[in-house]
Copies of this chain bind each other. A is one copy, B any other.
Amino acid sequence: MDFRDILEKYKNGEIVLEEALSQLASLEIEEMGFASIDTSRQKRTGIPEVIYASGKTTEQVRLIVERMYEKGMDILATRVTEEMSEAVKTIVPEAVYNPLARTISFKHKEEICGNGYIAVISAGTSDLPVAEEAAVTARFLNNKVVAIYDVGVAGIHRLFHKWELIRNARVIIVVAGMEGALASVVGGLVDKPVIGVPTSIGYGASFQGLAALLSMLNSCASGVSVVNIDNGFGAACQASLINKL
């Protein structure tokens, strides 16, 4: 039931004004006291409610998963610990834990629905946890994903090795720490949107990813936008919205 339905019912006299106002307010929320699950997020924004486990207790994660599972929703939790993954599996035994990406996920049905594929490129092996978070999330959102790892600009020919795969993607996620130059180099060579994900990998003056973040924001290549440091999840969401256009 959505906004128009409520107004229609109200007009038809099926509900009174107070009821209408109340229904408008309670549209598709699952109340849990410490959490309010946004069950209409998928319909509204194209991306379902996902659990960001950082800062939550294992018990909170477990309870949210339980409620979402009861409501028939697909499950994706990011930044989970191994302990959290164990707790989730007591409820959804078939959930898949990816220790590198720090995710646990479960889908009722696998499907691919984007118009092409998303390329996830990482500059170094140390960037893999973030790249994997992006890949796992993009697949959870029903996109085809191609992963291309360890092709940073210190050996730029490695990038050309996978050139066809990159050019043919519909949208490209570039995951890089240190100076993050890979985003500019890729952005200067393709005619597809590039989403940069700076990572917190690097020596001291990377300042936990600030260097790569500023670098990508200042890209001289004009088709590059940026998400938060280490936020593979956010990049995949943005890429998924684009891939489904």
A contacts, CB < 8 Å to B: 4, 7-8, 10-11, 13, 17, 20-21, 24-29, 32-36, 38, 40-41, 44-47, 49-50, 52, 54-56, 60, 64, 115, 123-129, 149-158, 160-163, 170-171, 177-181, 184-185, 187-193, 195, 198, 200-231, 233-235, 237-238, 241-242, 245
* Contact A189/B44 with A24-B160, A226-B225, A233-B222 known, Cβ cut-off 8 Å: yes
CB distance from A186 to the nearest CB of B (A): 10
Contact B17 A155 (CB under 8 A): no
CB distance from A63 to the nearest CB of B (A): 10
Q: Give the top 5 A-B pairs by smallest Cβ distance, nearest first.
A: A204-B229, A55-B126, A46-B191, A181-B181, A38-B155
CB distance from A38 to the nearest CB of B (A): 4
Tell me the complex Cα distance, A180–B13, Å: 40
Tell me the complex Cα distance, A49–B158, Å: 13
Contact B211 A204 (CB under 8 A): no
**Pick the contact of A154 from B28, B41, B227 — CB < 8 Å?**
B41
Contact B213 A204 (CB under 8 A): yes
CB distance from A153 to the nearest CB of B (A): 5
Tell me the complex Cα distance, A241–B203, Å: 21
**Pick the contact of A242 from B8, B162, B193 — CB < 8 Å?**
B193
Contact B215 A204 (CB under 8 A): no
**Pick the contact of A205 from B13, B151, B214, B242 — CB < 8 Å?**
B214
CB distance from A229 to the nearest CB of B (A): 3
Contact B221 A215 (CB under 8 A): no
Task: Name the residue of chain B whose CB is nearest to the CB of A200.
Answer: B204
